[in-house]
Structure 1
Amino acid sequence: MFESLTQRLGKVLDNLRGQGRLSEQNIKDTMREVRMALLEADVALPVVRAFVDEVKAKAMGEEVMKSLTPGQTLIKIVNDELVRVMGEANESLDLAAQPPAVILMAGLQGSGKTTSVAKLARWLQQNGKKKVMVVSCDVYRPAAIKQLQTLAKDVGAEFIPSSADQKPVKIAKMALAEAKKAYADVLLVDTAGRLHVDDEMMAEIKQLHASVDPVETLFVVDSMTGQDAANTAKAFDEALPLTGVILTKTDGDARGGAALSIRHITGKPIKFLGVGEKVDALEPFHPDRVASRILGMGDVLSLVEEVSRQVDQEKAAKLAQKLQKGKGFDLDDFREQMLQMSKMGGMSSLIDKLPGMGNLPDKVKNQVNDKEVGRLIAIVNSMTPKERRFPAIIKGSRKRRIANGSGTQVQDVNRLLKQFTQMQKMMKKMKGGGMEKMLRRMGGRLPGGPGGGGFPF
């Protein structure tokens, strides 16, 4: 997420770290580079101007010029300004209303609106313990209603049927009555998108809004459209009382212009980020954490939250007990670790949140391929239970059978067995407090991180 902005700003700010003093010229040169980095990231020009002026004014102050670590102080100012531009703190959904609290979803066609309805339904059920119902008022796009029905089933939300021959306002009123009867906590209303903002679309969505009086009106926008995202959000905000924004497809957005422009241009907070195609790929938007990621400092808080949500604690405890007792780490355990990692969005998602990983060379980043995790799981799945418990028996003919069964090559099977052996050795060191000694020897580096060695990727 926002890789090019992270790399560009990283290079600029790295030149400042450790500098004993900063001159006025130094600061001007740095801010020129920051300005270029933001413009290349497709941040809206008024936002860039305000950002640079604000940082420059603070950087020229006595606090920086007389600081013992002026470079670090200036980096902190840039970080604080990024946070301020994106909205200071996470703004959660306001569901303090007589149930059902209605959330109206608006946006252009192709922005990921229907998928975001399902993601939000899942998030509300898991994190808010809410009973959620969903309805589609999109009577124009072929299969839109069917798509929401399928997604609702996937996330376990109750779907209220509608059909293309009904009027959107009638559907919304009917759905609200159904949600009241079913004692739902939240009703999510999916609306029709268009390819562009038009009067007909705005008139219809205004009527929908008036008919259900939502507590939240969320604008769903594709982050990859850059500053256009902010301008479209502004056009919607002039027609509807928007309460927030869901920024989608941020996992594919290397620039970050939308995230930095929306709050300044619309005055509306970004409430969620869509970080992938799966229904669990939705994160609350924390400006301080995103600023930290942009500056290559990682996002450990989100990583910890993700681990506590996604990792099966019971299985993790069993593996820890097994290792403590000195029982071997086998290929079933290895596969379980791969599956847990996939649940957390794969290696690329983890690397995005680890401090310092934004500065890894592209050559190293390109080796972190989440398809490789899927390939490893497929290879282990092609083994017999006995082979998983006793990998030493896997020789020539068994390797060929496993490769054929998983659609891979014998070399891939050999590579997996080599990686497994490395991980097995590392796990042996965990027995009897050995993990602490190992970490001390590694100087706190992560296995497989820069300078580390042993983790299978």
Structure 2
Amino acid sequence: MAFDNLSEKLQNIFKGLKGKGRLTEADVKTALREVKMALLEADVNFKVVKNFISSVQERAVGQDVLTSLTPGQMVIKIVNEEMVNLLGGSAVELQLMPPSEITLIMMCGLQGAGKTTTTAKLAGKLKSKGRKPLLVACDIYRPAAIDQLKINGEKQGVSVFSMGDKHKPLNIAKAAMEHASKNGYNVVILDTAGRLHVDEAMMEELQEIKSNLNIHQTILVVDAMTGQDAVNVSQNFNDKLGIDGVILTKLDGDTRGGAALSIRAVTGRPILFAGMGEKLSDLEPFYPDRMASRILGMGDILTLIDKAQAQFDEDKAREMERKIKKAEFDYNDFLEQMHQVKKMGGISDILSMLPGMGKQLKDVEIDEGALSRTEAIIYSMTKEERSNPDIINLSRKKRIAAGAGVDISEVNALVKQFDQMKKMMKQMTGMMGKGGKRGRFKLPFGF
């Protein structure tokens, strides 16, 4: 994640604070100087850092903090609260018109920020919420952008309106609105042209669209990996065009991440979504409190729950619980659970959201390919073997290993792991039956 280095530095600073029984004002100021350096190194805007440290210090050196039984924890709590405020305080949703009306959204940003892909991601997100979106290809300067939008729109099951590259973007947008009105679309998303830098011609084109059409939301797509430049771009677009919100892309990349901590404070505009991967499903609502928790190494359990519940089928879960109780859990069920883990982003992604795991995972190589090999082994089994694991003997294992292209030791390891997991799950289900409640969130079995 973008904040891994910052997170590690802050955790080390806080470890020093918690290690002291009593804190003096000098202790707090020394720790905050280190926090200040960590933020600056993460490319957070220096004015933002100055105001942030000032706010924390004002609260942290108060008598009620320094004389408390756990002053270190109190300082960390204050840092967390101020970071949440810095990121915007609370989540801001994309403002949409009622479903009976058409919401017109204009996407803008520099070339390379991931705008066209993000536009398709947003359309998919809105479709899943029950809206009927229409993507509009307004980037007439890059034919590849039109093709990319069409391909991604098809993957998302969302229609794309295009008039090629011979018409003005404004005229394309007007024609798209007419098309949407006649065909029952209630969200129109304009994918406008990007440039390598902010220039007058680009701004004039966007201003022309905005002055001739009733744009409900102007969304800026910003590449988090560009650091301080991302803040400058956001400020430029907001000053010249007026933006309603920001979508940060590539927050899963190896970047210092300071843009996310600066954009809200500098522009006054909220971060609406965060792009956390290359897949079209990798667009998450931006929650300041959850992001602050991840930055401070406290994990992000709520986002993990959201991801799991997006893949959660209550009927399937009930049937799975029944199978486990009766010891009928088989390799088909195991495969289903693996698919859920993949859809949630993989094991690394899941573990990174657990409190305190980020630092522990830093030097640990998680073999995501092991999931694929396990899949191959299960797919090499016959239907009968998958449904009835007890019949898998040595000769069957040899055939399965050959079919999957793995050593028999990997098949043996899977069979052993599966048997142990079945026993453990049956015991856990029994314990939950005594005092547990139905409907409680559970991670996919075995992971």
Q: Fold conserved (TM > 0.5)?
A: yes
Corresponding position: 1:350 with 2:387:
no
Give 1:372 deviation, angstroms.
2.7
Conserved 8 A contact 2:327-2:422: no
Match of 2:112 in 1: 110
Identity %: 48
Give 1:456 deviation, angstroms.
6.1
Distance in 2 between residues matched to 1:152 and 1:361, nearest whole Å: 36
Give 1:401 deviation, angstroms.
4.2
Amino acid at match of 1:362: K
Distance in 2 between residues matched to 1:234 and 1:403, nearest whole Å: 58
Distance in 2 between residues matched to 1:456 and 1:371, nearest whole Å: 17
Q: Structure 1 residues 241, 447: CA separation in 2 closer, same or farther (over 3 Å shift)? A: closer
Amino acid at match of 1:378: A
- Work out which of the residue numbers 417, 420, 425 in structure 2 matches 1:419: 417
User: What do the CA deviations read for 1:407-453 (whole angstroms, capped 9, x no partner)?
Assistant: 54444333333332332221221454367799xxxxxxx999xxxxx
Give 1:245 deviation, angstroms.
0.2
Match of 1:266 in 2: 267
Amino acid at match of 1:345: G
Q: Over the residues paired in the alignment, what is the CA RMSD in angstroms?
A: 2.4
Match of 2:220 in 1: 219
Q: Secondary structure at the match of 1:188?
A: strand
Q: Structure 1 residues 12, 168: CA separation in 2 closer, same or farther (over 3 Å shift)? A: same
Q: Structure 1 residues 434, 66: CA separation in 2 closer, same or farther (over 3 Å shift)? A: closer
Amino acid at match of 2:156: V
Match of 2:192 in 1: 191
Corresponding position: 1:32 with 2:33:
yes
Corresponding position: 1:87 with 2:88:
yes
Q: Say which is worse superposed, 257-266 or 57-66, in terms of deviation.
A: 57-66
Distance in 2 between residues matched to 1:119 and 1:88, nearest whole Å: 25
Q: Structure 1 residues 422, 4: CA separation in 2 closer, same or farther (over 3 Å shift)? A: farther
After TM superposition, the structure 1 = structure 2 runs for residues 12-23 of structure 1, keeping only pairs within 5 Å, are 12-17=13-18, 19-23=20-24
Q: Secondary structure at the match of 1:15?
A: helix
Amino acid at match of 2:122: L
Q: Say which is worse superposed, 391-400 or 139-148, in terms of deviation.
A: 391-400
Distance in 1 between residues matched to 2:311 and 2:443, nearest whole Å: 21
Match of 1:133 in 2: 134
Q: Structure 1 residues 361, 184: CA separation in 2 closer, same or farther (over 3 Å shift)? A: closer
Match of 1:376 in 2: 374
Q: Secondary structure at the match of 1:250?
A: coil
Conserved 8 A contact 1:329-1:427: no
Q: TM-score, normalised by structure 2?
A: 0.92
Match of 2:338 in 1: 338
Distance in 2 between residues matched to 1:178 and 1:291, nearest whole Å: 42
After TM superposition, the structure 1 = structure 2 runs for residues 247-266 of structure 1, keeping only pairs within 5 Å, are 247-266=248-267
Q: Secondary structure at the match of 2:18?
A: coil
Distance in 2 between residues matched to 1:396 and 1:237, nearest whole Å: 67
Distance in 1 between residues matched to 2:339 and 2:372, nearest whole Å: 9
Amino acid at match of 1:383: M
Distance in 1 between residues matched to 2:373 and 2:174, nearest whole Å: 48
Conserved 8 A contact 1:107-1:219: yes
Give 1:207 deviation, angstroms.
1.4
Conserved 8 A contact 1:107-1:221: yes
Amino acid at match of 1:417: V
User: What do the CA deviations read for 1:23-71 (whole angstroms, capped 9, x no partner)?
Assistant: 1221122112111211222212222222122212221222312222111
Q: Structure 1 residues 413, 435: CA separation in 2 closer, same or farther (over 3 Å shift)? A: farther
User: What do the CA deviations read for 1:75-120 (whole angstroms, capped 9, x no partner)?
Assistant: 0110011111111011111113672110100011121111111111
Match of 2:439 in 1: none
Q: Structure 1 residues 300, 189: CA separation in 2 closer, same or farther (over 3 Å shift)? A: same
Distance in 2 between residues matched to 1:225 and 1:20, nearest whole Å: 41
Distance in 2 between residues matched to 1:90 and 1:59, nearest whole Å: 26
Match of 1:142 in 2: 143
Aligned residues: 440
Give 1:361 deviation, angstroms.
4.7
Match of 2:383 in 1: 385
Give 1:382 deviation, angstroms.
2.3
Q: TM-score, normalised by structure 1?
A: 0.90
Distance in 2 between residues matched to 1:147 and 1:389, nearest whole Å: 42
Amino acid at match of 1:130: R
Q: Which structure 2 segments of 5+ residues have no match? A: 437-441
Q: Structure 1 residues 433, 60: CA separation in 2 closer, same or farther (over 3 Å shift)? A: closer
Conserved 8 A contact 2:36-2:53: yes
Corresponding position: 1:232 with 2:230:
no
Q: Structure 1 residues 338, 215: CA separation in 2 closer, same or farther (over 3 Å shift)? A: same
